[in-house]
Amino acid sequence: MTLEMVSSAKVRKLKGHVCPSSGGAKVLRNAVVYGGNAAGKSNLVKALAFMRASVLAGSLPQEGIREYCRCGGGLAGEETTFDVQFQVGDSVFDYGFTCVLAELRVTSEWLYSLGDEPEAVFLREGSDSVSCDALVSVSADADKVRLGVYTEDFLHEQASSTGSGLLLTYMGKARSFSEESPLSVFRRAFSWFASGIEVIGAGQAAPSTEYYAESSTLDQVAEVLSSFDTGVSGLRKEEVGMDELEKYVPTEVLLTLREVLRANAPKRDDETFVLTVRNDSFFLGVERTGAGEPRATILKTRHEGSLLDFDFHDESDGTKRLFDFMDILFTKSEDKVFVVDELNRSFHPMLTQQLVSLFNEVHSNDDCQLVFTTHENDIMSYDYFRRDEIWFVERGEDGTSRLYPLDDFAAGEARSDARLNKKYLEGRYGGVPVISASRARAALDLGEA
């Protein structure tokens, strides 16, 4: 699968959906992916989540051992390729790796700087070799020595293990270089995986909630939630003792929470670290400023017409799901990619429409992007998306998936005044389930219709 978010020269509508800082590349703000059940939509999200998790951890996650393509006779011994192009500040990178998932073994890895001419930052072949010729040519002697030592140490580690490690993490996270050093390119590229992309699975809570830190922003969140007709009129944080957390959080989660707090202790007195944890039963926040003691709070909601506060578990599934997406509206980042599986899950169609519209308005002057899968065909309209922002996934007879944009169809087939959602349900663009009512009736012994 290849998802390409570069605008088509043929599309003139919604010019504001082109990210302002993307220059000549003209990168789009949205990508909405449609397809039948089991067509492969979620695999696109899972692939990005897997790639991000691998880079953050520095090695292929153990659960990836069964993620190879099992269509037909299975392809356990075949290589899988993950590759993504992204921008950090003024730098544009292409990073990727190939691996044999069934063996959790990385067979190659690369990082290119994409300027006027693509330039290889490093090229790696398994545990055999790493080439950094371009970096070596512009680095000071001390950096050349460090680069040589680090890459040799990395290759030695891989040769003596399963070979699941990633050089980008080894150099970008575990090693420190000055801003002036050419070797700082590793840290810049790694930073995109750490803070430039956020992936929210269909049954998962948002991994970050920036808005929780400030009470004034929390008031704004309550107002937005109210605009979705949730009944929520106010939000507040109720402080609880750190020793009381076991009442709200399972033991294994509590242990992880304490580890994260230790690993992310603020380095300055004016720096605050905020961690949120939630499931369907609670919404918990832990804040720590400087060297002070952590402060734990639980979220309480107030509803119109009620004098009493509600616990988070009292809210509907749709309201809880909306909390996951408040960060895409209130994030302080100006160039973050949000990837969401089943955006419309637990939502009325009008809620999905408003969320998409607000995202595009809020981020009209920055480079934030939204990539999501959905079955909600009410937003399949040129009122919400450009032709080159709408994609389809279709499963073939061999079980593999094909991803393609609406823009692939002739202008007459996807013209500007077309009723896209109606034509989609008619099967004009593919990406719909092939349903056999007669087969189901025969299995249920219902006779002819």
Query: 208-218 pLDDT, tens per residue?
Result: 788 888 878 89
Q: Does 150 fall in a domain?
A: yes
Residues 310 and 331 occupy one common structural domain = no
- What distance lies between CA 104 and its chain's CA centroid? 22
Res. 236 pLDDT band, cuts 50 70 90: very high
Bridge partner residues of 405 (DSSP): 391
pTM: 0.90
Structure tokens of 276?
């949120």
Structure tokens of 81?
């390729």
**DSSP symbols for 290-324:** TTSPPEEEEEEEEETT-SSEEEGGGS-HHHHHHHH
pLDDT over threshold 80, residue 247: yes
Supply the pLDDT for residue 28: 96
Bridge partner residues of 108 (DSSP): 98, 125
Q: Does 256 fall in a domain?
A: yes
Q: Considering its fold, how many domains does the chain have in total? A: 2
Question: Domain ends where: 283, 315, 347?
Answer: 315
Residues 294 and 425 occupy one common structural domain = no
What is the β-pairing status of strands 232-240 and 272-278? unpaired
Could you list the residue range(s) of the whole structural domain that residue 392 is in?
A: 1-65+132-208+321-449
What is the β-pairing status of strands 369-373 and 30-35? parallel
Q: Does 224 fall in a domain?
A: no
Q: Does 108 fall in a domain?
A: no
Residues 50 and 145 occupy one common structural domain = yes
Question: Domain ends where: 315, 347, 382?
Answer: 315
Residues in the chain: 449
Residues 264 and 405 occupy one common structural domain = no
Res. 273 pLDDT band, cuts 50 70 90: confident
Residues 55 and 163 occupy one common structural domain = yes
Residues 278 and 186 occupy one common structural domain = no
Bridge partner residues of 75 (DSSP): none
Residues 33 and 136 occupy one common structural domain = yes
Structure tokens of 293?
């003691």
Supply the pLDDT for residue 433: 65
Cα distance between residue 52 and residue 69, in whole Å:
19
Residues 153 and 200 occupy one common structural domain = yes
Residues 311 and 332 occupy one common structural domain = no
Question: Domain ends where: 315, 333, 353?
Answer: 315
Q: Does 149 fall in a domain?
A: yes
Share of the chain above pLDDT 90, in %: 59
Question: pLDDT, tens digit, for every residue of 68-96?
Answer: 888 877 788 899 999 999 999 989 999 99
Residues 162 and 273 occupy one common structural domain = no
Res. 125 pLDDT band, cuts 50 70 90: very high
Residues 390 and 435 occupy one common structural domain = yes
Q: Does 420 fall in a domain?
A: yes
Question: pLDDT, tens digit, for every residue of 16-70?
Answer: 999 998 888 899 999 999 998 888 899 999 999 999 999 999 999 999 998 888 8
Residues 173 and 190 occupy one common structural domain = yes
